[in-house]
A and B are shown apart, each in its own frame.
Chain A
Amino acid sequence: MRRSIAAALGVAGGMLAGAAFIRRQGASRERADLYFEDGSMLSLTNGSPGAERLLPLAREVIRNARSR
């Protein structure tokens, strides 16, 4: 009985840890890629000042597109 409870708790803990890991990975993948006329490209990752300005605006665009 105790073994099965421990196993269930272990599985649940593993699932929670996995979900947290995936969520964290998804959050770190947030970025902004800017392409210029001369062929240059600027990639701003989450945490940089430029991305901090652009990400909320992009979320607003997505919210506007999905709102019903």
Chain B
Amino acid sequence: MDSVFYYSGFYLALIMLLPLYRAIFGPTVLDRLIGVNAIGSKTTVLLIIVGLIYGRVDMFVDIALAYALLNFIAVLAASRYFQKKKGLYEKNPSD
């Protein structure tokens, strides 16, 4: 049963590379924000799987809860900050 969690954690860490591409090379700022949000929601699961592997789930659950809260606050604050910047996304020269 432990090997199932090993492989699940490894696969989850591989899957997190795909939103990382969107977070680095995203065309707009909000695309990067989507990538960061997707990575954060996968990290919450990965933290509990790491806790299962180490045998300390009761400690890692608190860290995962704090990480989920921090991810939500970060995305909310960043989207509130970037909504006033008009003309940041349009690339056609007519604007």
Are A and B physically bound partners?
Answer: no
Q: Which residues of B contact A (CB under 8 A)?
A: none
Q: Which residues of A contact B (CB under 8 A)?
A: none
